[in-house]
Amino acid sequence: MIIDTPTGGRPIGKGHAPFIVAELSANHLGSLARAHAIIDAAADAGCDAIKLQTFTPSAMTLELREGDFAIHDGPWQGRNLWDLYGEAQTPWEWHAELFAHGAQRGLVVFSTPFDEESVERLDRLGAPTFKIASFELVDLELIAAAAKTRKPIIMSTGMASDAEIAEACEVARSHGASGIVLLHCVSGYPTPIDQINLRRLDALHQWADEVGISDHSPGSTVPIAAVARGAMMVEKHLTLACADGGPDAGFSLEPHEFAQVASGCKAAWSALGDGSSNRPVAEAGSRKFRRSLYAAADIDVGEPFTRTNVRSIRPGHGLAPRELPRVLASHARTKIVRGTPLAWELIA
């Protein structure tokens, strides 16, 4: 699958290192300068992309603050949806500047739209792909609007049933999406590592062109393990310092931690190899130290070989150990000095 950018296509999938996405989200804390600093931190950490979120409070909810619109548990307990989204939004006026900065740093820049107007705006801005958040996976009209741009669609699967995932993918494909990446996700903020269920990645292949993970667990363990399990895209939240606070601070990584994610994921992918039986170059110097058959005593001409005068030892310059039964059924063709590697020309 290819994500087209002004500087060329960025392939995602087999044969290419995992695509590492830093999620800016609300970690700008209302500061454009901080948003720019996070973009720089993402590039310096070795990320491939920076992702924004494009919404206004009115695109997300109603301006009611009680009843169903109050948050009673989780990391945003005591807040209400309207005020939370008002704090978390990335102003549209910042987008062009942030897109340009990310591109200048060599990053793919894209966003999560939360309504059709945001899809249209991002498309005009040149967003190369769209991310559908877990909470919006059931918003089929939003998925259709993003797919109609004929760009790739990335969708997180937190909370979703198999039927909901299949339906979302069918809508995306039928409305023109040029590719689908499904990100395994657990919508817990943060997510305990023992609830991640990385084996779920295997099932997602049936619906998507590529699979990955949108992770809210602590540290770098889960994304690195996910790459070893086949994830080709990794998304985590990035902040300058968790101590600075903000709605997403509790499940975000600091720049030095994100650098561990980026380098660790790419190392894990490199370690996967191609699965072939060809022995690696790194072993070339070791083969000569495998076991082989050697004369363990001086052996006269015509003397039979025995388990006393022949041994399987290191190094590996003699006959292979599997030849021992044939050697023991034979005798010496010439005089053999102790420590000589056995070869067929010495054996009658």
Taking only the tens place, the pLDDT of each residue in 187-212 is: 999 999 999 999 999 999 999 999 99
- The residue ranking higher by pLDDT, 145 or 280, is 145
pLDDT in the model for residue 78: 84
Per the structure, the complete domain to which residue 308 belongs is given by 281-346
Q: Taking all residues of the chain, what is their mean pLDDT, rounded to a whole number?
A: 95
Q: pLDDT band at residue 72, thresholds of 50, 70 and 90?
A: confident
Question: Does residue 250 share a domain with residue 206?
Answer: yes
The predicted model gives 18-26 an average pLDDT of: 96
Question: Does residue 287 share a domain with residue 210?
Answer: no
The CA distance from 312 to 328, in Å, is 12
pLDDT in the model for residue 83: 85
Q: Tell which of 252, 272, 292 closes a domain.
A: 272
pLDDT in the model for residue 77: 83
Domain count, the chain: 2
Question: Does residue 294 share a domain with residue 245?
Answer: no
Question: Does residue 304 share a domain with residue 268?
Answer: no
Q: Tell which of 221, 249, 272 closes a domain.
A: 272
Q: pLDDT band at residue 341, thresholds of 50, 70 and 90?
A: very high
The CA distance from 227 to 191, in Å, is 18
Taking only the tens place, the pLDDT of each residue in 110-144 is: 999 999 999 999 999 999 999 999 999 999 999 99
Question: Does residue 266 share a domain with residue 292?
Answer: no
Taking only the tens place, the pLDDT of each residue in 290-328 is: 999 999 999 999 999 999 999 999 999 999 999 999 999
Q: Tell which of 272, 298, 314 closes a domain.
A: 272
Question: Does residue 294 share a domain with residue 267?
Answer: no
Q: Going by C-beta distance under 8 Å and a sequence separation of 6 or more, which residues neighbour residue 247?
A: 25, 26, 75, 76, 84, 87, 88
Question: Does residue 79 share a domain with residue 183?
Answer: yes
Question: Does residue 286 share a domain with residue 241?
Answer: no
Instruction: Yes or no: say if 41 and 238 are a contact pair by the CB < 8 Å rule.
Output: yes
The CA distance from 268 to 252, in Å, is 22
Taking only the tens place, the pLDDT of each residue in 73-119 is: 878 788 888 888 888 899 999 999 999 999 999 999 999 999 999 99
Question: Does residue 128 share a domain with residue 54?
Answer: yes
Question: Does residue 322 share a domain with residue 249?
Answer: no
CATH number, domain with residue 239: 3.20.20.70
The CA distance from 321 to 120, in Å, is 70
CATH number, domain with residue 316: 3.90.1210.10
Beta bridge partner(s), residue 112: 53
pLDDT in the model for residue 179: 97
CB neighbourhood size of 258 (10 A)? 26
Q: Could you tell me whether strands 292-295 and 252-253 are parallel, antiparallel, or unpaired per DSSP bridges?
A: unpaired
Question: Does residue 139 share a domain with residue 285?
Answer: no
CA-closest candidate to residue 347, choices 338, 27, 339, 329: 329
Taking only the tens place, the pLDDT of each residue in 37-60 is: 999 999 999 999 999 999 998 888
Question: Does residue 71 share a domain with residue 143?
Answer: yes
